[in-house]
Every structure is written in C-alpha cells, then in structure tokens.
Amino acid sequence: MVFREKDGALIAKRQGETLQIEPWGKNSLRVRSTMYPDFTGRDWALTESVSGNEAKVTITERADGPFAKISNGKIEATVNFAGVITFYKKDNSGPDDFILREYFRCYGGTESKESRCLKYINRDYKPHVGGDYRIIQKFESNDGEKIFGMGQYQQPYTDLKGCILDLEQRNSQVSVPFALSSLGYGFLWNNPAVGRVTFGNNYTEWVTEASKELDYWITVDDTPRQIIENYTGVTGRAPQMPDELLGLWQCKLRYRTQEEVLTVARTCKEKGVPIDCIVIDFFHWTVQGDWKFDETYWPDPKAMVDELHSMGIKVMVSVWPSVDKRSEHFYDMLERGLLVKNERGGLQNYDYQGDCTVFDATNPEARDYVWEICKKNYYDLGIDMFWLDNSEPDLVKYDFDSLRYYMGPALEVSNIYPQCYSRVFYDNMKKVQDKPVVNLLRSAWVGSQKYGNVVWSGDVPSTFEALRDQLAAGLNMGLAGISWWTTDIGGFMTDDVNDPDFRQLLIRWYEFAVFSPILRIHGDRGPYDIPPLDNRDFGGGYLHTGQDNELWSYGEDNFKIMKDQLKLRHDLKPYIKSLFEETSKNGAPIIRTLFYEFPEDKKCWEVYDEYMFGSEYLVAPILELNQYEREVYLPEGKWEDIRDGKIYDGGQTIKAAAPIESIPVYRLLK
C-alpha cells in the first residue's frame, strides 16, 4: 500500500485500487474506493455543506509495512499495508474504543488471528463483462451489537442484527441504507445501487450489484441523538410541517366523483369531524399518463376545490409515474426519451389497468415535462398537495437488470428513483409558492426528508401481524432520517369491513396512529359489491371502489372512540408542532425507540413493542386481537397515565389496562 496525504484526505493505492478517506462533517469520515483512474464525483446522499472538520493524517513505517491513520474529531481510522481499515471512537481520557474493522481472511495484513487461508478480502471487485463492478464490502461482526435503521422492511424485527435486507425499492419496502449501531456509530451506504446487506453473526456484508466505486460514510458520537444529528447534518433535514396538517387526513380507495368528495367533506362538518385534508385517489383520470381529471365525473374540479378550501380542508390528488400507451402524452414522451428504457423486450414494464411504462424521473427534462402537465391540470386549479403513489416505481416484476434510466442502469441507480420522483413536485412547487411543500409518497431514499416527503408504509394487509410490522418499520424509518412517516389506518387490504375482528384492528391501529407523525385513514375496503359507474374500459367510472371509510362508517360505538381520539390528537397539536420543529432542527425522529431518549438504560435497548412520541410521551400500542391489558416498561423518572392521572415510578414494568377505548400512554413528568 502506498499512502499519501492530499488536502486533509488520506489516499492509498494498491494493486490498481485507489482508496480515499476524508473528513466529512462532525466526527465523521467518508470512504471511497475505485478500480477506475478516478472517482465519479457523485456525492449521492451527501448533499449538505459540511463544517467542523478536524482532520489529522499520519503515515508511518512499521515492521510489517506502511501504516496510516486519519482522524476527524472523535473518529479515527487506521489502514495497514494490506489496505484493511479499522475504525475507533477516540477517547481523550482513556484507550480508544474499537467499533468496526473490515473482514480480511488472506495472507497477512490484519490484526485478526483468524485463519488467513480462505482468501476472503475486505473490498472485492467482481467485474461485469464490458461494464462496471459488483462490489462486496465485508466487516467483522461485533458480538452483542444491535443495529437499527435501514428504512422500512415488512418484518417484526426492530433490531436488525441477524437480518438479511435487500437494498431494493418495492411496494411497502423502502431502502434507506443508514444503520445505527449500539456501539456508538452510524454507517451510511452511500450508493443507490441495487444490492443487499447481511448483518450476520460471523460477518457483515454489503453488496452492490453494479457500481463504479465503493462509497460509504461513518460517524461516531456519544448518544443516538448526536449520531442522528451528525447524519442528517450531511444528508439534509425535513422542512417545517404546516400546522394545518397535524389533524386527520381523510382517504379511501376510492372517491369516484367530485360529488362524493364534497358529500364526505360536508358530512364531516355536520358530524363534527374536523379533517385537515381530503385525498382523491387513483383513476380519477382518463388513462394513466394523462394526469388530469376525467371530466365525466369531475366536471368542475376548481369549484370543488374552492368549496373544500372554504371549509378549511386541503386537497391532495394522486399522481402515478406510469404512462399508458393510450395516453395523449405517451408517444411524445417516447420520442423525447423521457420514459424508462427496457434493456430487452418491449416497452411495457407496468401492467395494472393498462399497457404502461414509467416516466424517467431521474431525467430533469422528464421531471419538468410532467410538472407542466400537473401544474396546468391540478395545481392551477388549487390542488394543494400530491400523492405520489407507486413511487418505487411499481413494476410488473422487479427485474432491475432489465431497465435503464437517464442516470444509469437500474442496477446502478434505481434506489434513488423515489427521491427524484418527489422532486418533480418539490423543486417546482418551491418556485411558485411561499409555503412549505408537503407531498405523500410510497417510497424514499436517503435525503428524501429534504423534499417535503411524507412516506407511508405501503399496501400492507389488515392484520395485527402487519400492525406489529408497521411499528418496527416506523421506528427504523425515523432512525434512518425519515421522520415524516404514516400508515394506512387499519391496513390497506380488507376483505370484509363488517368483520368484528377487523373493526377491532381498525380501532387499535387508529389509537396507534394518533401518536404517530401523520394521522391518515385509508384502505381498500371489501366486500367489492358496489357496481361500476359505467361500462368503459378506461376513465374514472369503470374501476371498482371500496366500502365507505369515514369515521362514522364502522358503527356508533367505534365512531365515538375515534372522535374522542381525534379530540386527543387536536389537544396535542401544540406538542406535535414542537416535534416537527425539532426534526427540522436536528433530524430527531418523531416516533422514537426508547433507547433514543434513554441510551444509558440497557432495558431500553431491548424493548421494541412500545415507543416514545417525542421526548414526553411513552406509547404502548395494542398489537394483538382481544388484548385488553399489557405489560409496559417505564424507564427512570415519574410517569403519569394520561387517562386517569395516576403516577408511576420508572425503572419498572407495570401491568396496564387497555380497554378498547384507549391504549396505555404515559407522560414523563419534568
């Protein structure tokens, strides 16, 4: 290994590889490696200007060969003659703490005493014929370590140690590859390529299927709060959420006419149900890619929007990235090169209700093209927000090796697609309005929080098992920097709205959602016995609609519970506003693992079926059918049950009542 220092960075060369380690923000280092003559210059998620660098590089000769160190604040990395990197958290009062070391099982070059005959190397470049590399990065596994973050996966595991995670965007799966370790570091895989990470007990392995270079960022600090602040300091933070969106967002699959929308809004007013937003779902359009209202059922959308605004209700409309061959824009977009390209076969890559492809949101020209249409047909009519559904994008089959974007092959760049899709609207809306931009998306990547994205957890089933999965998903999304997060209350897929078990699930999900960032009710409610409006095979009339999904749709008893819970949400609005202000300031999650607030409490690193709503409220959701009490762990402090005012000492597990009307919630007394 040949080392040198350049502009505060450590650069090393060996066997055709260039390795560069440089300071990048507070207590942080960025590591890049390539087999090409130079780096691409792409910063990917590292978009924010950085400061506070305290770089120090030393290069020495040891008996076994050259050796180098680079430090920046509390973090230090060493590189031996074989190029193996070891990371430490510096401690000025004692020995440095080891946190992470690359996995190397080859002759020489590591402090590990494991067998070196296996010929596993730490950074392995496997070339694609005529193209880029499949890159494998291995690290030693640390016994007893817990790992969190990484975005949203439909599984019950909050601690990801032992998990295998596909780095792929899919419906309800959101890859945001930032890992928070219980050992006091955060690790960002700064690459939007399709891949996989294995947090194994024997080693950790990151894989990118196609890339020109390896790129990751690592930070250390004393608490999870400080680590998240460092991480969002280099990737961006959410803007401020408007106060008028902290209440109920009303939605269903699907309101088919403007009269249905107005009837629901008027009934909400009559029944004393305040709603902040009403959502117009898919197939209000003619065909996918026309991005306009079907005039047959939406004859005067501006008048509809004006009436809703007069009631204090914001209006959101669904926009999909799919473009049907029947669309008036399809062939124009095809000729201009604004559609995603298939590497082989025909043009189709999406087939729900039409022969469709997807517009290429990684192409700035395509983003501007779609915005101009949506501005004319929606925004200029007064539409406030956009529901950017299918934003992974959804595909017939997730064959990433068969697609190519403006930005590069899908294997190399596709995970950044939802972030680019959101910028169709965020970038352009920022130019024409002086209020914060808020849009709803089904997917995200690192840094999506900057672009006014509320991310929801996708089309999940209506089961208690799915509700448990959403708790894990929401906590890990927050730890990955995506604090604006929500779910379909009750789950998306319901066979029978009259099933008492479903109605119980709906109430428990609603009670959980009251203590989540965005309170939003949505779902595809069976049975599907409502006839279509017409016999056409296109437009807003032919496609099915689900059963009613308003608060009063599930019986008087449930209506009362949800109204009471909605009042509680409104009572909490000043507090919730402060949580959104905090996440804009320092990246703090809104729903938080217990250890985020109580990192010194070992028990808090093991309890994942309850959470903190900000710093003051501990929430213990009900995650099982017919469960009317549960155990709740209370960390140190004095805790008040918000339902009856009873005060408990922390540092103990209590048995809490959970009648159908409420879930256990405790306020930390200062």
Catalytic positions, written as ranges: 389, 392, 459
Peptide bond into 527 cis (omega under 30): yes
Paired tokens of 515: 């203590």
Burial 506-545 (b: 16+ CB within 10 A, else e): bbbbbbbbbbbbbbbbbbbbbeeeeeebeeeebbbbebeb
Asked if 542 and 535 count as a contact pair (C-beta separation under 8 A), the reply is yes
What's phi and psi for 28, nearest 5 deg? -140, 155
Q: CA distances (Å), 170 to each of 108, 440, 511, in order?
A: 42, 16, 27
| CB neighbour list of residue 439: distance below 8 Å, 6 or more residues apart | 385, 386, 387, 388, 422, 425, 426, 452, 453, 454
Question: Angle, to 10 degrees, between the axis of helix 464-479 and the axis of helix 500-514?
Answer: 20
Asked if 256 and 545 count as a contact pair (C-beta separation under 8 A), the reply is yes
Amino acid sitting at position 217 = W
Paired tokens of 584: 């804009």
Q: CA distances (Å), 273 to each of 267, 335, 365, 489, 521, in order?
A: 8, 49, 43, 16, 13
Asked if 383 and 328 count as a contact pair (C-beta separation under 8 A), the reply is no
Burial 255-283 (b: 16+ CB within 10 A, else e): bbbbeebbebbeebeeeebbbbbbbbbbb
